[in-house]
Chains A and B, each alone.
Chain A
Amino acid sequence: MSDQTLDLTAIVPELRTRGLLPADTAGVFASGSMVRGWGNETSDVDVHVITGSLRESSIAETGHVSLEPNVLTYERVYVNGRRWDIEYWTQSQVDQLLAKVTWEAYNSPDSPWSTLSRTELGMLERLPYAAAADDGGWLSDVQQRLRDSAHRVILVGISLRESDGLVEDAAGQLAAGDVHSAVIAARLAFNHIVDALQAQEGQFGSLWPKWRARRMTLINSKVLTFETYWATETMANFDSGNPGAWVEDTIGLCRKISSELEV
């Protein structure tokens, strides 16, 4: 089966050999679990290619973004038994994306970041741990622009708002006696508040909840220890005879974490 380490230097030659590296390529990088060292035998390799102009795709798959042009194109290949998902962005699309998370954008009453699509959010969450597959100049510049921007506080805020809404839902449902719905809402609220906490600590990944526990091990949070996180994530203290108590405890925990976050 496939090697579970990723040879970054092999990516560009492989793309070039297969005709998947446009002449106007500005940057190539890998992201995802393989880069973070969390890969397993069936993990895909996520490759991103930044080009000057929109590349035609040979497969039907496209992604939609709130940018111009409003589509991303993809390729999918298998290299030594491992699937590579290759996503193409134009330089202009990346520039537009970064423009949505500048401090100026953050302070704007128009809230440009509110138009972030799921795919755009994914790119913003991937970029901080991306690994260059070329000389690294392009990625290094973009990562510096992110560090200088409101990227972190905006990503914290997005997860925080999701949690806030679900906490209100859970409280209302509990008050109305709809305990089952309140349990689900409280559980989801907790998921989002953990994402917000992790984002504040620089561990982004709300779109990849499967790695939440891994990320939790990478932050040293006084407000939420791993033990408390895991007990809540797994609903270890849930009493089916008194589900309301779990909802109240979980909302209380969300509130405690929330008060430690700054947006």
Chain B
Amino acid sequence: MTEQNDSAPVPRIPLNVRLRKHRGRHLAIGYEHALELSPTAVFIWNQIDGTTDVDGIAQAVSTEYAIDVETALEDVRALLDELSGHQLVVWDSSAQPRHG
């Protein structure tokens, strides 16, 4: 995950980004980009609160879907990479990370 560094920045949803239910689909919509989210991705999205770090989110996914934490971590990182690539998530180094 290229955006992260050793100080473990936490993912944050920018103020101008929103989640929208549109005709049965979930869309993350930003200023320029929109991305359709799967139900699992929506769950991950809902864990992004600007204070919970990647490990904390992966722990929540592991618990919710009864999968091992390593697998959850891979899924969370993959989604966050994709979201940040579309400026739908940013990384906040100043936040005090919470590990879930």
Contact = CB atoms under 8 A, between A and B. Distances in A.
B16 A258 contact: no
- Interface range, A side: 10 to 19
Interface in A206-223: none
A170 B14 CA distance: 12
Query: Looking at chain A's contact residues, is the secondary structure mostly helix, strand, loop, or mixed?
Result: helix
A168 B16 contact: yes
A261 interface: yes
Interface in B1-30: 13-23, 29
Contacts, number: 38
Interface string A84-116: 000000000000000000000000000000000
Interface string A242-263: 0000001001100100111111
A197 interface: no
Contacts of B23: 262-263
Contacts of B14: 171
Nearest to A254: B18
A199 interface: no
5 contacts: A170-B15, A171-B15, A262-B22, A262-B23, A263-B23
Interface of A: 164, 167-168, 170-172, 174-175, 248, 251-252, 255, 258-263
Interface of B: 13-23, 29, 31
